Structure 1
Amino acid sequence: MALLRSIATVGGYTLLSRLTGFARDILVAGTLGAGTVSDAFFVAFRFPNLFRRLFAEGAFQAAFVPLFAGTLETDGPEQARLFARRAFSVLALVLLVFTAALEVLMPFAMIVMAPGFDAVPGKMELATELTRIAFPYLLFISLVSLQSGVLNSLGHFAAAAAAPILLNLTLIAALVGFTPMMETPGHALAWGVFAAGVIQFAWLAWHCLRAGMTIAPIRPALTARVRLLGRRIVPVVLGGSLYQINLLIGTILASLLADGAVSWLYYADRVTQLPLGVVGVAVSTALLPLLSRQLKGGQWEHARHNQNRALEVALLLTLPAAAALMVIPGPIIGTLFERGAFSPADTAATAAALVAFASGLPSYVLVKILAQCFFAREDTAMPVRIAAAAMAANIALNVALMQVWGHVGIALAASLSNWGNAIALGVVLHRRGQLGLDARFLERLPRIALATVVMAGAVAGGTLVVADLLAAGDPWRPLALAALVVVGAVVYAGVAQVSGAARLGEIKAMLRRGEPATPGPIPPDP
C-alpha cells in the first residue's frame, strides 16, 4: 500500500465529492429558494447528519480501524472478518433501536432542533414529516462507515472515498426526476436522502464482496473485543461533541455582533473547508489503517517514516493553500458569492474572516494527522483531553478577541486554539517517543516554506496585473481568478522542483511503489 498513492486516491474522490456537493447546493438553492420547505428540508438533512458526525465518521473509524487492522495483521483475515461481522451486527441492532425510538419521538425532537418553526403554520409538521423520511439514512451511513473501515484496512480506498459522490448524485436525481410526483421538492429530497443511504450501503457491500471480505450479519454478541470497541468509541464521541459545541458557541457569539456576522463566518469557513476536506480527509484516512497494521506488526521504523511523510505531504499542500487564501481573499469571496443580495461590503467582511480562518488551515490538517497517530496506537482518550483544553482556550479567545476585531476575532480564535491543539498533540507524541521528525522532513520544510513565499508573491503581483478584470464582474472575474490560480500553481510547482521541496520524479515513484519490505528487529515504541 503506497501512502502517497492512497492519499491521491482519497483526495481525488473527495475533491470530486466536494464539487458535486456544490452542484447539488446550487440546484437545491435554485429550486427551493429560502423559505418554509427549504428550512424544513435542511433540518431534516442535518438531523441524521448530526448523529453521523458524532458516531459514524470519526468515532467509529478511530476505534474500529486499529482493532480490525490489528486483528488482520496478527490473526488473519478470517478472525478479522468475524470481528467485523460481530461489530456490524451489534451496531445494526443498536442503530435500529435508536432509529425506531427517534421516529416515534420526532415531534418532540423537532421542538428542540427548531423551536422557532412553530411560529409558521405547518412548518413544524412539515419538518417532522421530512425528518422521519430522511432519518433512517443514519442507520445505513453508519454501517457504511464500518464497511469503509474494512476496505481501507485492506488498502482499497477508492470505493469508500467515492461513496459521498453517490449521495450528491442521488439528491440531484431525486430533485430533478421525482419532484413532480411529490407533494413538495422537500419530499423528493428527503426520499433522496433515504435512497442515498441504501445506495451507498449496497455500493460498499458489493466492494467488500469483491475484496473477499463479505460482512454478513450474525447473532449479536458482546464479545470482549466488541466491548473494547464500544469503550474506545465513547471518548471520540465526546471529542466530536466538543467540536459541535465549539461551532455552536461560535455561532451564538457571532449572533451578538453585527447583522450578517454569522453568514460572513459561514461563507469564509466553507471556502476554508475545501482544501481542509480534500487534504485532511485524504491524508488521515490513508494513514490510520497503514499505521495500525505496521504498529501491530512491529514495523516501528516504517510507522515513523509514514508519520513523517504524512506530515510532509500535508504541509506541502496546505501551506500554499493557506497562503493563497490569505493573499487574495477578496477576489476569491467576490468571485464565489458577490452577486444578488451579497454586497461588496459582505465580500470585504467575509474576506477578512477568510484570512483569519486560513491562518489556521495547516493546523487543522495537522490535528487530523496527529490524532490518527494516537488512534493507531489504540489511544482514543488523550486526543479528546487535548481537544477539551483547546475548546476551553477557544471560548476564552472568542470572548477576548471579538471585543477587538468582531467576527474576525472569532475566526482568529478558532485558528489559534487549533494551533495549540496541534502543538499539544505533537508534544505528547514526542515525549512518548512516538513522533520524531526525520532528516528529510527537516530538510524539506524550509524549502516548502520558500516555495510558498515565492508563490504568494507571484499571486499578489498577478492580482495587480488583473485588477481591472477582477473588478469587472462576471464573466471576467472568474477568468481572472482562474488565471491567478494557474499562475500560483505553476510557480509553486516550479520552485518546489528546483529547490527540492518536492520533485516530480520522486512523486511518480511514490505513487507507483508499495511499502518496503518488513525491516529487521527494531526496538518498539516506549
Structure 2
Amino acid sequence: MTRERKTWYSYLHTTWQKYQGPLLSNMLTVGIVSLLVKGVSFFKEILIADTYGISELLDTYLIASLIPTFIQSVFLNSYGSVFIPNYVQEKESKKHMGAFQSSSFLITILLALLMIGITYIGIDIYLESLFPGHNSTYYELIKTQLWVILPSILFWGISSLITGLLMIEDEFFYSSLNNLFVPIVTIVLLLLFQQQLQEITLALGMLSGSILSCVYLVIVGIKKKVIFLKKPDFKSKNIRVLLSQVPAKISSGLINGVNPMVDQYFSAQLAIGAIAALNYGYKIPIVTISLISASIGNTLLPYFSKKVLEGKKKLYEYLQSVLGKILILMSIIALVLIFLSKFIVAIFFERGAFTSQDTEQVYVIQQMFLLQLPFYVTGIVMNKYLTALNKNNFLVLSSLVSLALNIILNYILMELMGTKGLALATSLVSLGNSTVIYLYIKKLYKKQNNV
C-alpha cells in the first residue's frame, strides 16, 4: 500500500470510527433492547386481549391512560427533546453543567405537578365534552383508573431527563432498558393479581412500573456519573435558549397530541368496542414504528446535536442520505406486514375473549394503519433534525396542518368506512406531515446556503 493510500485509508478509518461506528453501534444496541422491550410489551397485549377482549373496561382504561400519556408526550417529552441539543452546547463549554441540570429537573418537576393538578380539576369537563352520552358508571370507571395512573406523570418527567443525559453520553443500553418495567409489572399483575385488583389492574401496572423505572434510572445515572446537581441558574445562555424553544416544542406536541384524542372522539361515536378495535389494530404498526424510531430517532437526536457543531451543510447532506434509506426500508416492511395482516392478528390476539369475528374487524384496521410506516418514521427523523437546529417554530405550523387534516379526513372517511376510515386518515395525515416538513427543511437549507 502506497503512502498516499495509507493516508487516505487512515483518514477514512478514523472518520468511520469517530462517527459512523459509534452511531451504528448505538442504533444496533437500541434496536436490540427495543426488540426485547417490544416483545415483552406485545406479550402484555396478548394477555390483555385474552383477559378483556374488546370490552367497555378496556375502552375506559384506554381513555384514562390517554390523558397522562398525552401530558407525557406533549409537555415532558417536548422539554426532554429540547433539553438534549442545548445541554450538548452547555457541555461543550464545560462551565455550568450542574446548574443546567438542576434548573431542568426543577422545571420538569414543577411542570409535572402543574399538569397533575390541572387534570384533577378538569377531568369532569374533559370527559363530558369529548365522550358524551355515557352513564355515570362509565365515567366513574375512567376516573378510578385515572387517579391510579396520574402520579406516573411526575416519575415520567424525571425519567425523561435522566434518559437524555444517558443518551448524550452514549449510554443507550441503560437508557433503553427502563422501558421494560411497565410491561413486566403489568404482566405480573395480570397473571397473579387480576382477580384481586379487578378494574385497576392495568392502571396499577402502569404506576408501579413507572416508579421502578424512575428509581432504576436514578441509580444508573448516579453510578455512571451523568447526574451532578448544583444551584439552579435560570440566567445562563443555554437555559435561555432552551426556554425560548420550549413553547414552540410544546405547542407542536400539544397539537400532535390532540390527534389521538380526535381519533378516540370519532371512534366513540361508533359502536361499543370501536376504541378497543382501533387500539388492537394499531398494535403491530406502533410496535414496528417504535422499534425503528427508537433505534434511529433516539440515537440521531444526540448525534445531530453534536454534528451541528461541525457545520449545517454536512448535517443536511447526511439527513438526505438517511431519509432515502429509511423510505425504501419502511416501504418494504409496510408491504410485507399488510400482506400478512390477517394472519398476524389471528396468531397474536385470537384467543379467550378475542374471537375470529374480532379478527375480521381488526386486521383491516391494521392494514390501514400500516400504510403510514414510511412517512411516520421519516417524519420523526426530520423532527429530530429540526430540534437539533433549534428550529422548532415551524413544527407548530406543520402540526396545525396535520390536526386540521386529521379532523377533516376522520369526518369524511368515518362516514365512508367506519373505524377503518379513522385508521386510513391517520396514515394520510402522516404522509401530509412528512411532506410539509421535508419541503420546509429543503427551503431552509437553500436559504442558509444561498442556493
- Could you say which structure has the greater relative contact order, defined with CA pairs below 8 angstroms and 6 or more residues apart? 2
Corresponding position of 1:208: 221
1:343-379 CA distances to partner (integer Å, 9 max, x unpaired)?
5554344333333322221001011011111111001
Query: Helix, strand or coil for the counterpart of 1:432?
Result: helix
Amino acid at match of 1:420: G
List aligned pairs for 1:95-106, cutoff 5 A: 95-99=112-116, 101=117, 105=121
Q: Distance in 1 between matches of 2:284 and 2:80?
A: 26
Tell me, what secondary structure is at the counterpart of 1:155?
Answer: coil
More helix by share: 2
Task: Tell me whether 1:60 sits opposite 2:68 in the alignment.
Answer: no
Which residue type is aligned with residue 28 of structure 2?
A
Residue of structure 1 equivalent to 2:304? 291
1:25 aligns with 2:37: no
Q: Residue 90 of structure 2 aligns with which residue?
A: 71
Q: 2:343 aligns with which of 331, 336, 339?
A: 331
Gaps in structure 2 of 5+ consecutive residues: 1-18
* Count of residues paired in the alignment: 430
Residues 494-517 of structure 1 show CA distances to partners (whole Å, capped at 9, x for unaligned) of: xxxxxxxxxxxxxxxxxxxxxxxx
Distance 2:67 2:182 in 1: 16
User: What residue in structure 1 maps to residue 71 of structure 2?
Assistant: 51
User: For residues 42 and 256 of structure 1, what CA distance do their matches in structure 2 show?
Assistant: 16
Q: How does 1:249-268 map to 2 (within 5 A)?
A: 249-256=262-269, 262-268=275-281
Partner AA of 1:241 in structure 2: L
Distance 1:40 1:223, change over 3 A: farther
1:198 Cα deviation from its structure 2 partner: 2.8
How far did 1:231 drift?
Answer: 3.3
Contact 2:76 2:157 in 1 (8 A): yes
1:396-450 C-alpha deviation (Å, 9 max, x unpaired): 3333444544444433332223212112211111122279xxxxxxxxxxxxxxx
Match of 2:137 among 120, 141, 144: 120
Contact 2:102 2:232 in 1 (8 A): no
Task: Give the deviation of 1:380 after TM superposition.
Answer: 1.0
Distance in 2, Cα, partners of 1:393 & 1:251: 16
Instruction: Specify the alignment match of 1:231 in structure 2.
Output: 244
Provide the alpha-carbon RMSD of the alignment.
Answer: 3.5
| Distance in 1 of aligned mates of 2:123 and 2:268 | 27
Please state whether the residue corresponding to 1:214 is helix, strand or coil. coil
Q: Is the 8 A contact 2:82 2:246 kept in 1?
A: yes
How does 1:36-435 map onto structure 2 within 5 Å? 44-57=64-77, 59-73=78-92, 75-76=93-94, 78-99=95-116, 101=117, 105=121, 108=124, 119-120=136-137, 124=140, 128=143, 130-175=145-190, 184-187=197-200, 190-216=203-229, 218=231, 221=234, 225-256=238-269, 262-295=275-308, 297-300=309-312, 302-339=314-351, 342=354, 344=356, 346-433=358-445
> Which amino acid is the alignment partner of residue 423 of structure 2?
A
Identity of aligned residues (%): 22
* 1:71 CA displacement: 1.9
CA separation of 1:331 and 1:26: change in aligned 2, threshold 3 A: closer
Relative to structure 1, is the Cα distance of residues 3 and 161 closer, same or farther in structure 2, using a 3 angstrom cutoff?
same
Q: Which structure 1 segments of 5+ residues have no match?
A: 436-522
What is the TM-score normalised by the length of structure 2? Answer: 0.81
Is contact 1:304-1:434 (8 Å) kept? no
Structure 1 Cα separation of the partners of residues 59 and 267 of structure 2? 21
User: After superposition, what is the alpha-carbon deviation per residue over 1:276-296, rounded to whole angstroms, capped at 9, x for unaligned?
Assistant: 11112321111111111111x
CA contact (8 A) 1:63 1:232 kept: yes
Contact 1:110–1:127 (CA<8 Å) still a contact in 2?
no
**Which is greater in Rg?**
1
Q: Is the 8 A contact 1:325 1:358 kept in 2?
A: yes
Deviation at 1:144, TM superposition (A): 0.7
Instruction: State how far apart, in whole Å, the 1-side matches of 2:52 and 2:289 are.
Output: 29
After TM superposition, the score normalised by the length of structure 1 is 0.71
1:449 match: none
Q: Which amino acid aligns with 2:332?
A: P
For 1:348 and 1:32, how far apart are their aligned partners in 2? 18
For 2:45 and 2:249, the matched residues in 1 are separated by 30
CA distance in 1 between partners of 2:32 and 2:409 (Å): 35
